[in-house]
Structure formats: C-alpha cells, structure tokens
C-alpha cells in the first residue's frame, strides 16, 4: 500500500518521527480520555482492567480490549504514548492507518490472551496472575516495537536513554527481560507476561501477513501470465472501415 505521507519532510531533522498520524492520534486521544475518566471515577479501572477471574467467572468479556486504554499513573501513560508515537508513526505511514490499527489491537489482544492462558497453567505464578489486575497499552506497544525492529532493524534505540542499541537487538533484550521476569511472577506491578504476549502475537501476525502477501503475489503473477497468454491467441484490431467485411474484432 502506498503511503499518503512523504518519506521525508520538513520535520525530518526534528526530534522523533514527525507529526502524529491519524490512527496514532486517535489512540493517544482515547488513552488520555480514559486516563482522565479513571481519575474521576477510579472504580472504572476495576471494571475495565484485565482480571482473568472476572473474564472467566463473571463473563466480563470486554476486558481483553478495554484494559489497554487504562494506565496506573501519569508516567505509565506518558511512556507508553511516547513509545507509540516514536515507533508507530513510521509503521502507520508505511502500512496505512487501517492495517496499523488492526495490528495494534491484534498485539494488545494477543497480550491479553497470553495472560488469560497462563493464568490457567500449573506455573507457580498462575494463581497470582488469575486474580491480578492488568492495565496499560504496554502489550500493544511491545508489538509495535517488534514490528519496528523488523522493518528498521539497524535503527539505534537508546536503552535506558543511554546506550545506543540496534532496534533488532533492543527487542531481543526487552523480550528476554520479560521472559525472565515472567518466570518469577508478575511482581512489581509489571505484567511481564503481557509484554511477552504482545511480542509473540505481533510476531505471529506479521509472519502470517508475510505468508498471505507472498501467496497473493504468486496468484497475481499467475493470473497475469494467463491473461497475457490468452491475449496472444487472438488478433485484436482497433477498428477499420465499415465496408471492410474481412476485418473482425475479437
């Protein structure tokens, strides 16, 4: 899909990737609005946050979607939205708003699904995970980071804002941190299993999309070959005199 946004612009030399793209602007606005509402009505966090016990026991099936719009504090919101802007803008320009939005929710939903599934396993932290509350867009943002590393693997990302690391290695590092942290349970209020789930869901979705794109390209080439082959069987005349009865148009 051809991007509607130019690859370079007057913002190219400024900090970050440039102005907000439509989908990211809408996502940031929704997250900020949900954060403000939760400040006024704190109970909404318990209602809309992801808690496996409520999803299964009380059939609150909206939680795997709504949890990603809530945040535990201003810095939690700020860092997630900053990462979404910094790493998501170029992806949306490249993919288009529709595909980016779909990818974002697949990554966030996959992160929630991972949390739900792990809460039913015999792992030591499963019971704690089953009754814990998970909020934040981190799972979806981790998926965005993985996609960014796939398309821009050599772009430097500053780990802890100090150490420049190529994007592909940065994602490996944060994935390893989430994996090791998840084996010790979701301590410190950080849902490492959700982060890891966002990475896995994004990876599987992009792999599936790549296979679909390859299949579509093969079908397109085959159909084009058949059309050209059929055309060569006929002589096509653009027209002629009305009294030329020997000329035919196929």
Report the chain's mean pLDDT, rounded to a whole number: 79
Catalytic-residue membership of 138: yes
DSSP, residue by residue, 220-243 = HHHHHHHHHHHHTTS-------TT
Let me know the angle formed at the C-alpha of 14 by 12 and 20, rounded to the nearest 5 degrees.
75
Q: What would the two tokens of residue 7 be?
A: 């690859």
Among 36, 176, 205, smallest CA distance to 113 is for 205
- 119, 138, 181, 182: the active-site residue: 138
The domain 22-212 having CATH identifier 3.40.190.10: the answer here is no
* Per-residue model confidence (pLDDT) at position 81: 93
Distance CA 77, CA 131 (A): 23
Among 136, 123, 121, 131, smallest CA distance to 194 is for 136
Residue 43: how many CB atoms within 10 A of its CB? 8
Q: State whether residue 164 is helix, strand or coil.
A: strand
The sign of the CA dihedral 49, 24, 209, 168 is negative
Answering whether pTM is above 0.75, one says no
* Per-residue model confidence (pLDDT) at position 194: 84
Q: Where are the domains of the chain?
A: 22-212
DSSP 3-state percent helix, strand, coil across the chain (nearest 5): 65, 5, 30
Distance, C-alpha 8 to centroid of its chain = 23
Catalytic-residue membership of 212: no
Distance CA 127, CA 234 (A): 72
Query: pLDDT tens for residues 104-147?
Result: 999 999 999 998 998 888 888 788 888 889 999 989 999 999 99
First to last CA, the chain: 35
- 71, 76, 192, 195: the active-site residue: 195
Query: pLDDT tens for residues 67-100?
Result: 999 998 898 899 899 889 989 999 999 999 999 9
| Percent over 90 (pLDDT), the chain | 41
Asked whether residue 18 carries a pLDDT value surpassing 60, the answer given is yes
* Per-residue model confidence (pLDDT) at position 124: 80
Distance CA 50, CA 163 (A): 34
The sign of the CA dihedral 7, 11, 12, 17 is negative
Query: pLDDT tens for residues 141-188?
Result: 999 999 999 999 998 877 766 778 888 888 888 777 766 665 555 454
């Amino acid at each position: 899909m051809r991007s509607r946004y130019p690859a370079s612009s007057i913002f190219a030399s400024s900090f970050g990737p440039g102005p907000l793209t439509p989908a990211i602007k809408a996502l940031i606005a929704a997250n900020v609005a949900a954060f403000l509402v939760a400040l006024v009505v704190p109970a909404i966090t318990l209602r809309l946050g992801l808690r496996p016990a409520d999803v299964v026991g009380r059939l609150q099936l909206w939680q795997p979607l709504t949890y990603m719009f809530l945040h535990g504090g201003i810095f939690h919101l700020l860092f997630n939205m900053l990462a979404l802007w910094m790493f998501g803008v170029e992806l949306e320009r490249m993919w288009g708003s529709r595909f980016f939005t779909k990818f974002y929710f697949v990554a966030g939903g996959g992160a929630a699904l991972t949390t739900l599934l792990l809460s039913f396993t015999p792992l030591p932290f499963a019971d704690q995970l089953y009754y814990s509350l998970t909020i934040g867009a981190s799972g979806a943002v981790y998926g965005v980071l993985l996609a960014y590393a796939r398309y821009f693997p050599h772009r430097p990302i500053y780990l802890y804002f100090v150490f420049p690391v190529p994007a592909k290695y940065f994602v490996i590092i944060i994935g390893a941190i989430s994996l090791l942290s998840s084996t010790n349970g979701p301590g410190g209020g950080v849902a490492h299993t959700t982060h890891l789930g966002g990475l896995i869901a994004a990876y599987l979705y992009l792999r599936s999309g790549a296979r679909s794109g390859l299949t579509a390209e093969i079908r397109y080439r085959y159909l084009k070959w058949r059309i050209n082959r059929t055309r060569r069987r006929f002589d096509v005349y653009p027209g002629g005199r009305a009294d030329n009865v020997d000329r035919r148009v196929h």
